[in-house]
Structure 1
Amino acid sequence: MTTTQPSPGATAPVPLVEVTIDGITTEVPKGTLIIRAAEDLGIAIPRFCDHPLLKPAGACRQCLVDVAMPDREGNVRPMPKPQASCTMTVAPGMVVNTQLTSQTADKAQRGVMEFLLINHPLDCPICDKGGECPLQNQAMEHGRPVTRFHDVKRTYPKPLAISTQVLLDRERCILCQRCTRFSDEIAGDPFIELQMRGARQQIGTFDETVLGFTGEAPVGASELDAAGAPFASYFSGNTIQICPVGALTSAAYRFRARPFDLVSTPSIGEHDSCGAAIRIDHRRGVVVRRMAGEDPAVNEEWTSDRDRFAFRWQAAHDRLAAPMVRDGGELVETSWADALDVAATELASRRGSLAALPGGRGTLEDAQAWSAFTRRVLGTNDVDFRSRAYGGREEEALLASHVAGSGLTVTYGDLEHAHVLLAGLEAEEEAPTIFLRLRKGVLAGTARVTTVAPLRSRGATKMRADLLASVPGTEAEVLDAVASLGSAEQPGIILVGERLAAAPGAITAALRLAQRTGAKLAWVPRRAGDRAAVEAGLLPSLLPGGRPVTQTAARSEVAEAWGGDIPTEPGRDLAGILAALRSGALAGVVVGGVELGDLPDPVAAREALLAVREAGGLIVSLEVRASEVTELADVVFPVAPPVEKSGTFLTWEGRPRSFQAVFDTPAQSDADALAMLANELGVTLGTAPATAWRGTRVAKPSVSAPPPPSPGPGRAILASWRLMLDGARGQDLEPHLAGTARRSVAMMSPTTAADLGVEGAERVTLRGPAGETSYPLLVTNVADGVVWVPANPREDAAPIAALGVRIGEMVEVVR
């Protein structure tokens, strides 16, 4: 009997189909694969090519089962041959017998296993997959005890470097095509293809010198499969993880450990605000690899290469091991007790004339401690977590009125069924998990993407995004011109990246668009700790939970929770704090892991800290690794990296993502160090209020956009964003990962190149008030009058902040 039940995310009920598997009758939604229906009953059918997030392929044939179907008269008749359960969907009255109840299915599966093992090497003891290998496990369960193959196995030169990070041992490959399907269906990046036929068939990039071809490429070879083309993908590590046999291995992990030697700990990626679930594997106190964790609500089973491979920074040679105090002009290591005593004495003498720059790398617990410490110990609202270019009070008003305490207003699941407009956000580069969800929805036909940008990026192309071309500084005008967004089937969602704040009036225009169209609006920061910093009130006009500093009732709630009075007037933001330090209006600052090169004006930031030193002021730094701030600090407290502490990151959605410490070490978190310092001063840091503020919020921003600059002779408007793999210190000590980074180039339109007189040039130089740098030139489809360069390149080129020019400002371009 067929009934109906609602299907999650669907608008209409899905019919149920009755099917019998191994004598058990059940009902499953129409369109369910046999292998999934069996899983629902707890019946495991062996498989290699099947993956729940990839389209069926039927490539390995290991999942063969006996199937019988009713004929026209209703008689159940067996099909003449076993069928692949990973490609066949259930039908009414179908009877399935797996290897558990059918000798035919069992014999077929054992035959397939024997065939797969004919050429597969018996190198399990040295294979990286040994001990966690599906082929190894299923060969023991479904394979023959003795081989009947006595000839020479097929061999190839090995390994074949698909990229600097991914290595291929072709003789191990069983042609399941998981890697090629992932690259095509999920990441959208060209990968290796099936080559040749029959016994000589193999996976590989078409290359005459590697695969032994002569003449033209074989019929059917992909056009993307060009000779020598590297596997350039931000998600390449996923192919290693889903490979069922160890044919694909990681250059960084290869021969480093055996799975049974490893201790595994679930954790959360710390490089962005996406909150991807990961698994950290360590051996003898050293992290040797990270894997994607499974979380259907967030990252499903995928993660970016940055989250997977960039972890050695946490144990770098410049990791701070002990507190340091400046003595006679030099920093010297000392005990925690001595450093706390010195810092407490100096802070107490300057209370009321200090500020805090906590950065955006901390957990929610760290951010709450910073917020309480700033107000209760330093006695000020001079605090700003934003260590980047920002829009001043306009962005602050957005965060205080719309983001803080808002909860899960937009989720990853929403993105798959919406018309999403990206403003100031390059999803593939800045929020890779968002990119994968959007691409999934677009390919499924349930989502649509529109991007406001000066060019159609590679990521936008892979999402089939509509481009609303905008010159930096004209985003407000472009957003105001959008008449409609979304529909009943695809509700509108606006994702505002942190870069949009650099264009005055653009955030205000985004809010107008949301109000005009009924679309939801969400803010997507770049750093893992930024959303937590907003919730904790690490802004000059904001207290925890979205409470305005200026409201007495809001202050009273926080003061009661913290156990003491807090300042009543809004404080200075980042620019104001640096200016006050430079002028002497502030006598010191407490800094938390801020890289000066990330600030809007690194030169001015250095001058501000130098002015504090020269005036006899105080700089206290809480850092994991030595930095420019360390060289200028008076007291330095070493704090724990994510691998050595527990805590909670908040995703851009506002979703809590808790994780535990991988290693039990004496390292202190920011929250622990600040609590000890507060105790030294006789203050106990209380816990922030658990609920969001329900009273009157900070008013939404209302800023008019100024007219954009007009390019002059030899000048262009600067556009930029950070690439996923760039010069960030969190990617240090990862040479294999660095090899897959995209090349840093300067991009402009043919018209702009002609106007600047640089057409045909191999390189161009960009000059700003503070310096200059050069890039290879790429002439492509970019908005006229604009030059795009990466914000923080890996190569010798300087970051744009070193030029003294911000996004949307004019920069000189010369041949």
Structure 2
Amino acid sequence: MTVTQNTSAAEVEKKEDLITITIDDVEVSVPKGTLVIRAAELIGIDIPRFCDHPLLDPVGACRQCMVEIPDMGNGRGMPKPQASCTITVMPGMKVKTQLTSERADKAQRGIMEFLLINHPLDCPICDKGGECPLQNQSLSHGDGESRYDGVKRLYVKPINLSAQILLDRERCVLCARCTRFADQIAGDPLIVLGERGPLQQVSLYAKEPFDSYWSGNTVQICPVGALTSAAYRFRSRPFDLVSVPSIAEHDSSGSAIRVDYRRQTVMRRMGGDDPEVNEEWISDKDRFAFRSGRGEDRLTQPLVRDEDGSLRFASWPEAIDAAVAGLKAAGDSVGVLPGGRLTHEDAYAYSKFARAVIGTNDIDHRARAYSDEEADFLAAAVAGTGPINGQPGVTFADLENASAVLMAGFEPEDEGGVVFLRLRKAFRKNKLRSYQLAPYASEGIRRIGGTLLPTVPGDEANVLAKLPSSVELDGTSVIIVGERLAQVPGALTAAVELATRTGARLAWIPRRAGERGAVEAGCLPNLLPYGRPVTDPAARVDVAAAWGLPSLPDRVGRSANEQLVAAATGALKALVVGGVQPSDFVDPVLVRHGLENAGFVVSLETRVSEVTERADVVLPVGLIEERSGSFVNWEGRERSFGVVIKKPNTMSDLRVLAALADGLGTDLGIRTAEQARAELAELGVWEGERATLRQVRAKGPEPVEGPNTAILASWRLHLDDARAIDGEPYLAGTARGPVARLSSRTAAEAGIADRVVVSTDRGSISFRTEIVPEMTDGVIWLPSRALTETGHGGLALSEHLAVSSGEVVRIEGAK
């Protein structure tokens, strides 16, 4: 902040507790504790630097940002140039940068010459060439010639820090950005600066590769080409790329990203700068998982099933006509399964298509388990006031500034994306107290300093109702409710009661990017857009008027599972299916049975799948970078993005549904994402009476039947066998392998050693075991889905066991 002509420096300092210093004869007033290098930035002075990063603690490692300080504010100056990234401002301080000081300029040029002694001068073939701070600053702040005529140091290259991250040691300038990120931001310091003096280099722990969910951030913040990713290394030059801002689609955080493409092909994705959401960090999944749907199984042309049962290519008019004929024959006996990965606008199109065109409330985006009380909870959660009426919605900033965070049905690193990084930052900066209801403390919880509240799956409601006195919650605390809590009867009720009792605020954080938007859009059998109850006549009239219809169906529709059962028995004559896969459900056999026995199936998909193989009509839709739209993140914040790559004849789900509606004789009224957003804005938050949360009696977990049984605990890993990471072998190589976790007592009683066989009446599956000291007895934790130990193929509990968390399974030692 600069001082205006009408305000003296003393007045500004008194009013806002600012400190005024002079940099290159220009006065600037900044908050106490500001670094000199930041103060210089405010008045447009660019001091060269490598180690400095605004989101990392200062370290003064590279010494490139040297400035002269002739007066510290007390009449005395510093005898030698100082690193401006480590010196904080003092009242009356005078600073001279390279622009006005020969000493500062000479120091900077000397450091630059020193850094280039062993650095290879091969910018044209370096991945960083064209966007390299070292390259840029050697031109702006370095000499044209080097006095060094010796042999440059060489290393064997590259070093695989992990399957994804590669290190070229001769390029490293020892700025410590990567190691500080791993330690300070991600909290998994698997890389360090090892050795000393001229031998110092980025080193790896011998027994642990750099398998972090956040490792790609080190590549982006590396100021030279020392760290590269195997997925992008030597694939393109920065100056050949077109960059477009966008939003990540793999979790509910809505992280800002930058998509770089060349010749209509996405080459890489980078973290975007959004201080309110992800700052500039993104997960490796958001960074590297973008090739799914770009292989040989990509659907680019509609398919229609012939009378002989085979699928054949068809034109768009023929395919639309075939789909319309099948849906007309079914009348209003049509179920709609849109999935939870859709944009807000596409989800709204499915909701409107079901009610306004088909005339049914048989629509459900959920593949996960849920309880009877969830609908009322979600209705309040999307009403614009948070899960408790009168409360503002929780934000990322609220998590960072909370006095305490209590998590139930939620594992932050696996299920929350950059939510984990904000909790980690709050722990490190503000000593955040966090608590988690779980059978054991995950690695992610350990890294945010969390306290385990030992909980048997299925008993969360009772634990929430009887928290120990050591858990102190108040008005600045946050209770995070994950989507897994919805399958525990009474748990959501208990969470709301706890928030009401303590004054804490509630945040619902689902796993998938489209979950909250789907709820807001009305992709549930008992909710219309923005939480309007289907059973409320006033709510139906309100939506019908907005859609220009005389009425809407009033019967609560079928859930996703109920639709599939009805389709299998002939009670439902047709299905319209979006991005849904059988293995997403607890019982994939039920899903396949429903699809195979449904009278007629229309599939909207990007690539060949189990659904398209069983569909009567397949209508291809565009990939995420080929469409515009928005996601609604867990905060309720709209995260809009535009088209990255324009491809002719590429349809969004919304546009396909509009074409189907035309064929069925009803105008959907929307054909673009912009029109859908306008309608959603017109509908707005429901101002009528909302249903109150139904009081559901809490039930404990099922009793353990014997020494060879256990209660299952499970959740989805951040990286697993999901189709989203298909075509990403390097990313898959960093996934955490399948392992069963249990206590020593549970293992001993069941005779389990290195491996355990887990079984139900449906089947069995074997896992490597890990004994966890604080694990709750009588519980076994398994990943819901995981890549195999070899990294090829996947393991899904749904396929082998058809059970979910809280159910009893049989366990025994592998023979």
Fold conserved between structures, TM > 0.5: yes
Is the Cα contact below 8 Å between 1:355 and 1:378 reproduced in 2? Answer: no
Match of 1:772 among 764, 768, 774: 764
| 2:715 counterpart of 1:732 | no
For 1:366 and 1:603, how far apart are their aligned partners in 2?
28
Match of 1:447 among 432, 438, 454: 432
Instruction: Kindly provide the amino acid, as one letter, of the partner of residue 771 in structure 2.
Output: V
For 2:267 and 2:454, how far apart are their aligned partners in 1?
44
Q: 1:228 to 1:471 in 2, by over 3 A?
A: closer
DSSP-derived class of the 2:766 partner: strand
Is the Cα contact below 8 Å between 2:473 and 2:504 reproduced in 1? Answer: no
Is the Cα contact below 8 Å between 1:292 and 1:308 reproduced in 2? Answer: yes
For 1:530 and 1:404, how far apart are their aligned partners in 2?
15
Instruction: Kindly provide the amino acid, as one letter, of the partner of residue 222 in structure 2.
Output: C
Q: Which residue of 2 aligns with 1:333?
A: 313
For 2:473 and 2:485, how far apart are their aligned partners in 1?
25
**Cα deviations by residue, 1:100-124 (Å, 9 ceiling, x for unpaired):** 1111101110111001001101111
Q: Which residue of 1 aligns with 2:674?
A: none
**Cα deviations by residue, 1:139-187 (Å, 9 ceiling, x for unpaired):** 0011111111100001100001110100000000000000000000000
| 2:529 counterpart of 1:544 | yes
Q: Which residue of 2 aligns with 1:719?
A: 713
Is the Cα contact below 8 Å between 2:440 and 2:775 reproduced in 1? Answer: yes
Return the offset for 1:740: 0.7
**Cα deviations by residue, 1:191-217 (Å, 9 ceiling, x for unpaired):** 322222222222222xxxxxxxxxxxx
For 1:306 and 1:70, how far apart are their aligned partners in 2?
47
| 2:353 counterpart of 1:377 | no
Instruction: Kindly provide the amino acid, as one letter, of the partner of residue 555 in structure 2.
Output: E
Paired positions, count: 778
The 5 A counterparts of 1:460-471 are: 460-471=445-456
Q: Which residue of 1 aligns with 2:99?
A: 100
For 1:18 and 1:405, how far apart are their aligned partners in 2?
42
Q: Which residue of 2 aligns with 1:577?
A: 563
Is the Cα contact below 8 Å between 2:13 and 2:29 reproduced in 1? Answer: no
Match of 2:587 among 588, 601, 608: 601
Q: Which residue of 1 aligns with 2:221?
A: 242
Is the Cα contact below 8 Å between 1:351 and 1:377 reproduced in 2? Answer: no
Is the Cα contact below 8 Å between 2:252 and 2:417 reproduced in 1? Answer: no
DSSP-derived class of the 1:366 partner: helix
Deviating 4+ runs (over 4 angstroms): 1-6, 483-488
Return the offset for 1:402: 3.0
Is the Cα contact below 8 Å between 2:461 and 2:699 reproduced in 1? Answer: no
Q: Which residue of 2 aligns with 1:33?
A: 35
| 2:500 counterpart of 1:515 | yes
Q: Which residue of 1 aligns with 2:703?
A: 710
Q: Which residue of 1 aligns with 2:607?
A: 625
DSSP-derived class of the 2:244 partner: strand
Match of 1:807 among 798, 802, 805: 805
| 2:132 counterpart of 1:133 | yes
For 1:709 and 1:195, how far apart are their aligned partners in 2?
51
Is the Cα contact below 8 Å between 1:289 and 1:309 reproduced in 2? Answer: yes
Return the offset for 1:570: 1.4
For 2:191 and 2:451, how far apart are their aligned partners in 1?
29
Q: 1:70 to 1:717 in 2, by over 3 A?
A: closer
Is the Cα contact below 8 Å between 1:314 and 1:643 reproduced in 2? Answer: no
Is the Cα contact below 8 Å between 1:497 and 1:524 reproduced in 2? Answer: yes
Is the Cα contact below 8 Å between 2:13 and 2:19 reproduced in 1? Answer: no
Instruction: Kindly provide the amino acid, as one letter, of the partner of residue 67 in structure 2.
Output: V
DSSP-derived class of the 2:795 partner: coil
Q: What TM-score, normalized by structure 1, do the two folds share?
A: 0.93
Return the offset for 1:797: 6.1
Return the offset for 1:77: 3.1
Q: Which residue of 2 aligns with 1:216?
A: none
DSSP-derived class of the 2:715 partner: coil
Q: Which residue of 1 aligns with 2:638?
A: 656
DSSP-derived class of the 1:782 partner: coil
Is the Cα contact below 8 Å between 1:133 and 1:246 reproduced in 2? Answer: yes
Q: Which residue of 1 aligns with 2:737?
A: 743
User: Percent of counterpart pairs with the same letter?
Assistant: 55
Return the offset for 1:801: 1.2
> More deviation in 519-528 or 400-409?
400-409
Q: Which residue of 2 aligns with 1:182?
A: 181
**Cα deviations by residue, 1:49-97 (Å, 9 ceiling, x for unpaired):** 00000000000000000113357xx5x3331100110000000110001
Instruction: Kindly provide the amino acid, as one letter, of the partner of residue 579 in structure 1.
Output: V
Q: Which residue of 2 aligns with 1:410?
A: 394
Is the Cα contact below 8 Å between 1:2 and 1:15 reproduced in 2? Answer: no
Is the Cα contact below 8 Å between 1:792 and 1:798 reproduced in 2? Answer: yes
| 2:312 counterpart of 1:346 | no
Is the Cα contact below 8 Å between 1:774 and 1:797 reproduced in 2? Answer: no
Return the offset for 1:645: 0.4
| 2:347 counterpart of 1:367 | yes
Q: Which residue of 2 aligns with 1:254?
A: 233
**Cα deviations by residue, 1:626-671 (Å, 9 ceiling, x for unpaired):** 1111111111111111111000011011100011111111211100
Q: Which residue of 1 aligns with 2:573?
A: 587
For 2:809 and 2:72, how far apart are their aligned partners in 1?
74
For 1:580 and 1:574, how far apart are their aligned partners in 2?
10
Return the offset for 1:388: 1.9
Instruction: Kindly provide the amino acid, as one letter, of the partner of residue 810 in structure 1.
Output: V
Instruction: Kindly provide the amino acid, as one letter, of the partner of residue 84 in structure 1.
Output: A
Is the Cα contact below 8 Å between 2:473 and 2:502 reproduced in 1? Answer: no
Instruction: Kindly provide the amino acid, as one letter, of the partner of residue 169 in structure 1.
Output: D
For 1:446 and 1:412, how far apart are their aligned partners in 2?
16
Q: Which residue of 2 aligns with 1:17?
A: 19
Return the offset for 1:319: 1.2
Instruction: Kindly provide the amino acid, as one letter, of the partner of residue 633 in structure 2.
Output: T
Match of 1:46 among 42, 45, 48: 48
For 2:639 and 2:13, how far apart are their aligned partners in 1?
32
Return the offset for 1:405: 4.2
The 5 A counterparts of 1:33-112 are: 33-69=35-71, 74=74, 76-112=75-111
Match of 1:268 among 220, 241, 247: 247
For 2:328 and 2:710, how far apart are their aligned partners in 1?
50
| 2:676 counterpart of 1:676 | no
For 2:207 and 2:560, how far apart are their aligned partners in 1?
48
**Cα deviations by residue, 1:582-633 (Å, 9 ceiling, x for unpaired):** 2221111111110110112111111122222xxxx11111111111111111
For 2:221 and 2:19, how far apart are their aligned partners in 1?
31
Is the Cα contact below 8 Å between 2:344 and 2:517 reproduced in 1? Answer: yes
For 1:4 and 1:654, how far apart are their aligned partners in 2?
37
DSSP-derived class of the 1:416 partner: helix
Is the Cα contact below 8 Å between 2:185 and 2:425 reproduced in 1? Answer: yes
Is the Cα contact below 8 Å between 1:404 and 1:534 reproduced in 2? Answer: no
For 2:13 and 2:464, how far apart are their aligned partners in 1?
41
| 2:688 counterpart of 1:692 | no
DSSP-derived class of the 1:65 partner: strand
Q: Which residue of 1 aligns with 2:194?
A: 195
Is the Cα contact below 8 Å between 1:403 and 1:522 reproduced in 2? Answer: no
Is the Cα contact below 8 Å between 2:379 and 2:530 reproduced in 1? Answer: no
Is the Cα contact below 8 Å between 1:497 and 1:523 reproduced in 2? Answer: yes
For 1:732 and 1:562, how far apart are their aligned partners in 2?
40
What is the root-mean-square deviation of aligned Cα atoms in Å?
A: 1.6
DSSP-derived class of the 2:406 partner: strand
For 1:701 and 1:599, how far apart are their aligned partners in 2?
26
Q: Structure 2: give runs of 5+ residues left out of the alignment.
A: 1-8, 387-391, 670-678
For 2:616 and 2:488, how far apart are their aligned partners in 1?
37
Return the offset for 1:503: 1.5
DSSP-derived class of the 2:246 partner: strand
Q: 1:719 to 1:3 in 2, by over 3 A?
A: farther
Return the offset for 1:42: 1.1
Q: Which residue of 1 aligns with 2:462?
A: 477
For 1:561 and 1:305, how far apart are their aligned partners in 2?
42
DSSP-derived class of the 1:282 partner: strand
Match of 1:401 among 372, 377, 380: 380
**Cα deviations by residue, 1:440-494 (Å, 9 ceiling, x for unpaired):** 0110125321111111000000000011110001101111012676566x71211
For 1:798 and 1:768, how far apart are their aligned partners in 2?
15
